[in-house]
Structures are given as structure tokens and as C-alpha cells.
């Protein structure tokens, strides 16, 4: 895979920040000279969400995860924002890291951020990997709002119902629950408001980046119909399905998805 970035010191500590635009952004950077892959976390998670997937990406990939607004250790103004603002924040992070472009992998809410980034800043997106996400909040069932309305503790308990396959191991339930970060109601409200505004169905044809879509056929929060729509409407898109997979496929099926991501990057980054 070809190099696409300047050299950068590793930032592997859990509490490293960088100034990106108006924000102080928490991030984890594998460093080195690998192909830059920015991991965009879900609506209820933070930069630590991808620990399991990272372990299955293999060498030669510079995996960078970061905290969006109202997430983890990122410091942002206490004002409303849109997914477009979050897309601009991602590009500000690329600027701060000295990256002209990067490959983006987003799950759920993070996949929505990645879509908006590809639409607003196409020249900065080398490719898209959209995992368990949707092109429109309108396609999501009432279960999403049900999840939004839960307390943090109840949301963690709901992992076994919404995020992983029934009958899964308790260890998997625990790991999935730990990826759900606590936020106070004000921060959660701003993020939920931004999520409810997500709508790009009529713009999917404008996405120019090569796109890999990975989706579970039994996702209860982002229905599989959204994945098939994206595959049909985004030029140069490929859909890979996880049979019976639910919303946390990036964790539960990391041994499968990691090699898929690597294979995709080897082609698009050549």
C-alpha cells in the first residue's frame, strides 16, 4: 500500500490531544508510515471503540481514532452542531495531523459523519468504509429513539438486545457495553439532535470515493435496506454482508471485517 501522509509521532496514550480548528481533540494514533485510516466512532462511543478491530487490521495501516464533539476528552464549545460541522471537524483533524487525505471508516453515527465528509470535502477522502450505518435517520426504526431515551446504565444492559447476536458470550456483551461512553444529558442531547438531522439519500450519487459497505443482515438499529440503498446509489460501491449480524459487527465480527478492510485498502491505496 502506498504512503499517503507525512511522518507523525505515535500518539498511543489514552489521553493525547491535538488542536484542530476550534477544538482540542482527543485521539489515538498508531503512528508510523502506514496508510492513514481514520476510525470514526459511533454516536454513543468514543475514540476507544475500535480496540478490537484495530487488532485485526494488520501491519501497514496507520489507524487513527478520535473523539468527536461531546465525546471522550475532546473540548468543544457547548453549542448545537450538525453532521456537517462534525465533517468539518474531521478535516480540521487531518490538517492538524498533516494529512492531505485519508481513508475513513465509520460505524453507525460515525458512518454518517464519514458520508457528510465525503460530500463536503471529497478531495480529502481517499475511500469510505461504511459499517452498520445508514444514509438517513428516517430509515431507522423507533428502537433508535428508544435507545436515545435510555439512561447510560440501561443502554449498556440493552447491548445484548440491540448490538450483538442473541445467545452471544457474556464476555462479548461486556466488551460491547464498555464501548458505550457516559455523557451528561446536555452533551447527549446535542449529539442526538445532530443524528436526527442526518439525510443524504438524494446525494449518494455525488460520493466519488471508492466505498466499501459492511452491514449485518439483522441490524435492528440501522436496517439492512439502508445498506442496499447505499450500494445501489453510491458509484463504485461494494456491499459485504454479515449474515445475522446486528449493530456491533465491527467488534463481534472483527476477525472477518479486519481482513476485508485491509484487502479494500490494498486495492484503493495502491
pLDDT tens string 23-82: 999 999 988 789 999 999 999 999 999 999 999 999 899 999 999 999 999 999 999 999
Beta bridge partners of 26: 17
DSSP class per residue in 146-190: HHHHS-HHHHHHTHHHHTS-TT--HHHHHHHHHTS----HHHHHH
pLDDT tens string 188-223: 999 999 999 999 999 999 999 999 999 999 999 999
Using DSSP's 3-state secondary structure scheme, residue 207 falls into coil
Q: What is the DSSP-derived secondary structure letter of residue 37?
A: E
Greatest Cα-to-Cα distance within the chain, rounded to the nearest angstrom: 45
Instruction: Look up the pTM and report it.
Output: 0.93
Write down the CATH superfamily of domain 11-268. Alpha/Beta hydrolase fold, catalytic domain (3.40.50.1820)
pLDDT tens string 120-139: 999 999 999 999 999 999 99
**Sheet containing 102-107: order of strands:** 11-20, 23-29, 61-66, 35-40, 102-107, 125-131, 211-216, 237-242
Amino acid at each position: 500500500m502506498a504512503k499517503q501522509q507525512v511522518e507523525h509521532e505515535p500518539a498511543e496514550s489514552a489521553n493525547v490531544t491535538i488542536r484542530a480548528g476550534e477544538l482540542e481533540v482527543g485521539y489515538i494514533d498508531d503512528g508510523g508510515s502506514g496508510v492513514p485510516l481514520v476510525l470514526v466512532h459511533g454516536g454513543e462511543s468514543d475514540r476507544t471503540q475500535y480496540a478490537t478491530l484495530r487488532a485485526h487490521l494488520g501491519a501497514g495501516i496507520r489507524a487513527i481514532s478520535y473523539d468527536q464533539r461531546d465525546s471522550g476528552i475532546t473540548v468543544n464549545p457547548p453549542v448545537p452542531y450538525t453532521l456537517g460541522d462534525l465533517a468539518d471537524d474531521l478535516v480540521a483533524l487531518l490538517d492538524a495531523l498533516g494529512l492531505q487525505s485519508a481513508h475513513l471508516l465509520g460505524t453507525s453515527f460515525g458512518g454518517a459523519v464519514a458520508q457528510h465528509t465525503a460530500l463536503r470535502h471529497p478531495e480529502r477522502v481517499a475511500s469510505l468504509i461504511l459499517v452498520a450505518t445508514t444514509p438517513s435517520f428516517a430509515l431507522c426504526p423507533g428502537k433508535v429513539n428508544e435507545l436515545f431515551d435510555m439512561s447510560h446504565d440501561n443502554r449498556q444492559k440493552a447491548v445484548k438486545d440491540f448490538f450483538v447476536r442473541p445467545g452471544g458470550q457474556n464476555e462479548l456483551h461486556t466488551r460491547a457495553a464498555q464501548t458505550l461512553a457516559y455523557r451528561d444529558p446536555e452533551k447527549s442531547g446535542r449529539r442526538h439532535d445532530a443524528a436526527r438531522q442526518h439525510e443524504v439519500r438524494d446525494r449518494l450519487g455525488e460520493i466519488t470515493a471508492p466505498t466499501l459497505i459492511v452491514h449485518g443482515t439483522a441490524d435492528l438499529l440501522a436496517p439492512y435496506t439502508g445498506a442496499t440503498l447505499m450500494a445501489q446509489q453510491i458509484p463504485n460501491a461494494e456491499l459485504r454482508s454479515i449474515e445475522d449480524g446486528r449493530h456491533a459487527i465491527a467488534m463481534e465480527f472483527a476477525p472477518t471485517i479486519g481482513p476485508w478492510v485491509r484487502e479494500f485498502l490494498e486495492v484503493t491505496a495502491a
